[in-house]
Amino acid sequence: MITEEKFLEITRGQEKEAVFRLGKIDPLYSNGRPKIVFDGETTASTKQYPYLAPYTPTAGDRVLLAKVAGSYVILGKVI
């Protein structure tokens, strides 16, 4: 069994991954799954992200993404 001290030693300095992220739809987006320019980054992701049915992506939209199964899903536009 691991002691409290050992647990704290092992986990100290490890940051939690964010459940949510903000970004913008790639300015070159025209159709399909969009690439994202995440906040704090200057280039669009190489990965294309799925989005929820009620939202229709538009180039330049500011969006909220949620971490799901090791990736992100676009929840919708932030107004």
Average pLDDT, the chain: 91
3-state secondary structure of 78: coil
**pTM of the entire predicted model:** 0.79
Q: In the chain, what percentage of residues exceed pLDDT 70?
A: 91
So what's the pLDDT on residue 13? 66
Quick one: CATH architecture of 16-77?
Answer: Beta Barrel (2.40)
At 31, the pLDDT band (50, 70, 90 cuts) reads very high
Average pLDDT over residues 21-31: 97
pLDDT at position 15 over 70: no
Q: Which residue is it, tokens 């929820």?
A: 52
Cβ atoms of residues 49 and 37 within 8 Å: no
Domain map (residue ranges) of the chain: 16-77
So what's the pLDDT on residue 4? 82
